[in-house]
């Protein structure tokens, strides 16, 4: 023990190497020898500086614990938060993680020490409980495995598109829809809520979206706000259930939908037999038109049916995009110029309204008359002129004055009468085949009828 030769007040200190630290305030004790010859119990303590080490790791599942497969993060700057105020003070030491994520703080003093990151990247957060690794360092201790978990929120990208053919796939011809909101459905209720706004985005002019580093690791659900006029075709129930890991980018999460289509048209009487429904031609009320879904030509109970109104109009609404076979139920005593037109195909894309399904029907016409000997050549039958029961009468459809193959013909019966039935409305030339030495009168033209 040192002997001091004299009275007075003395500072007693320890001469310590750098690896040790005096624990008394200002590193000293005071010995007062003014009133006594000696000073007892002048105690000096020292602390052997310790180390804190571990790994900064990418916490892929966000659980705050390092799994063997989770990689270290290089180049992360850390500091020791000695006063645990969650901010870096000028005198608090810093270090960087190495290429494998390992870090180490050397020659640290006693007390509670918390390892924290100096700064975080966009979308990154600390998963370790308390926002850092806290350790109580005792004299000479080397604390290892003080791992610090960081996690980056995941991202999701895709497209919101108009599914023009309603097949649920994003095809080359399906346009993107701008201004649609895609969001993380935090509470899984399928509705966009105000507290989900920070976790949402709007599609761009091409329908593309990116939820950039907005999804926490784990099971997440994303959805989009579909307008009332839209029917969602992809994905089912309008949401994706995703397993998100740290920094993951999940692409191709597309949302498709379509607007309902419609088919409108009219049923009328084709008075002039041109196969079209002209503006002035009468429309037919209370005719039935249906969508022949199974293409069997007969309406089934589950096939949509409409009845024409007083203007002969009909309308099918709320139709999914696709090809429809519109067919009328032809009433007895009516016919079509083109029988195939009873079944009209319409291929509709999202939101399309077809208005041209028109059925032009006619009532078959009849031509009747009498063949007689016109003795006086006045082109009219007089009472004394007799009928001819045997000549052939034909319709000169090409008006060449000769009976051609395929032209309708009829034989007069005993009273000289003939009849042509089931004729389409129009003008016909009615001629006879005269016997040798006879002259036929000019053709009877201009017969036009729809009844």
Instruction: Indicate the class that CATH gives domain 364-451.
Output: mainly beta
Separation of CA 426 from chain center = 53
CATH assignment, 49-152: 2.60.40.10
Long-range contacts of the stretch 389-394 (C-beta < 8 A, 24+): 389/413, 389/414, 389/415, 389/416, 391/432, 391/433, 391/434, 391/435, 392/432, 392/433, 393/369, 393/418, 393/430, 393/431, 393/432, 393/433, 394/430, 394/431, 394/432, 394/433
Please state which architecture CATH assigns to domain 261-362. Sandwich (2.60)
Q: What is the spatial distance between Cα 353 and Cα 345, in angstroms, rounded to a whole number?
A: 14
Q: Of the candidates 110, 116, 43, 47, which has an alpha carbon nearest to the alpha carbon of residue 76?
A: 116
Please state which architecture CATH assigns to domain 158-258. Sandwich (2.60)
Tens digit of each residue's pLDDT, the chain (451 residues): 565 556 766 766 766 666 565 666 666 666 656 666 666 666 655 556 778 999 999 999 999 999 989 999 999 999 999 889 999 999 999 999 999 999 999 877 777 889 999 999 999 999 999 999 998 887 778 899 999 999 999 999 999 999 999 999 999 999 999 999 999 999 999 999 999 999 999 999 999 999 999 999 999 999 999 999 999 999 989 999 999 999 999 999 999 999 999 999 999 999 998 889 999 999 999 999 999 999 999 999 999 999 999 999 999 999 999 999 999 999 999 999 888 888 899 999 999 999 999 999 999 999 998 888 878 877 788 888 888 887 889 999 899 888 999 999 988 888 889 999 999 898 889 998 877 666 665 555 534 333 3
Cis peptide before 180 (omega within 30 of 0): no
Instruction: Specify which residues 72 forms β-bridges with.
Output: 57
Tell me, yes or no, if the two domains 158-258 and 261-362 fold the same way. yes
Domain ranges, ordered by start, for the chain: 9-47, 49-152, 158-258, 261-362, 364-451
What's the half-sphere exposure (Cβ side, CA atoms, 13 Å) at 218?
A: 7
């Amino acid at each position: 023990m040192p002997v001091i030769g004299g009275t007075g007040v003395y500072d007693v200190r320890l001469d310590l190497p750098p690896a040790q630290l005096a624990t008394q305030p200002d590193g000293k004790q005071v010995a007062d020898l003014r009133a006594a010859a000696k000073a007892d119990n002048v105690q000096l303590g020292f602390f052997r500086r310790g180390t804190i080490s571990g790994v900064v790791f990418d916490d892929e599942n966000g659980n705050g614990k390092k799994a063997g497969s989770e990689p270290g993060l290089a180049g992360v700057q850390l500091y020791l938060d000695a006063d645990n105020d969650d901010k870096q003070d000028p005198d608090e030491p810093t270090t960087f993680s190495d290429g494998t994520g390992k870090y180490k703080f050397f020659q640290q003093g006693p007390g509670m020490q918390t390892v924290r990151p100096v700064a975080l990247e966009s979308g990154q957060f600390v998963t370790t409980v308390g926002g850092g690794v806290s350790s109580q360092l005792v004299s000479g201790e080397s604390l290892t495995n003080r791992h610090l978990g960081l996690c980056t929120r995941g991202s999701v990208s895709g497209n919101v598109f108009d599914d023009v053919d309603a097949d649920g796939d994003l095809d080359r011809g399906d346009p993107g829809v701008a201004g649609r909101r895609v969001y993380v459905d935090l509470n899984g209720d399928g509705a966009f809520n105000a507290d989900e706004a920070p976790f949402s985005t709007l599609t761009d002019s091409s329908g593309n979206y990116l939820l950039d580093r907005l999804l926490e690791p784990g099971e997440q659900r994303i959805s989009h706000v579909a307008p009332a006029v839209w029917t969602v075709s992809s994905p089912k129930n309008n949401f994706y259930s995703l397993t998100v890991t740290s920094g993951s980018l999940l692409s191709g999460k597309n949302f498709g939908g379509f607007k309902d289509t419609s088919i409108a048209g009219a049923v009328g009487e084709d008075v002039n037999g041109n196969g079209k429904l002209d503006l002035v031609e009468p429309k037919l009320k209370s005719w039935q038109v249906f969508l022949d879904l199974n293409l069997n030509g007969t309406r089934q109970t589950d096939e949509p049916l409409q009845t024409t109104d007083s203007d002969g109009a009909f309308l099918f609404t709320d139709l999914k995009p696709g090809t429809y076979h519109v067919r009328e139920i032809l009433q007895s005593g009516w016919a079509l110029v083109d029988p195939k037109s009873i079944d009209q195909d319409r291929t509709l894309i999202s939101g399309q309204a077809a208005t041209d399904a028109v059925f032009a029907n006619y009532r078959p016409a009849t031509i009747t008359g009498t063949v007689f000997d016109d003795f006086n050549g006045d082109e009219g039958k007089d009472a004394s002129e007799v009928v001819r029961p045997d000549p052939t009468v034909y319709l000169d459809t090409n008006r060449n004055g000769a009976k051609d193959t395929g032209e309708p013909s009829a034989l007069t019966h005993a009273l000289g009468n003939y009849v042509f039935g089931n004729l389409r409305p129009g003008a016909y030339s009615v001629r006879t085949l005269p016997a040798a030495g006879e002259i036929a009168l000019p053709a009877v033209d201009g017969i036009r009828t729809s009844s």
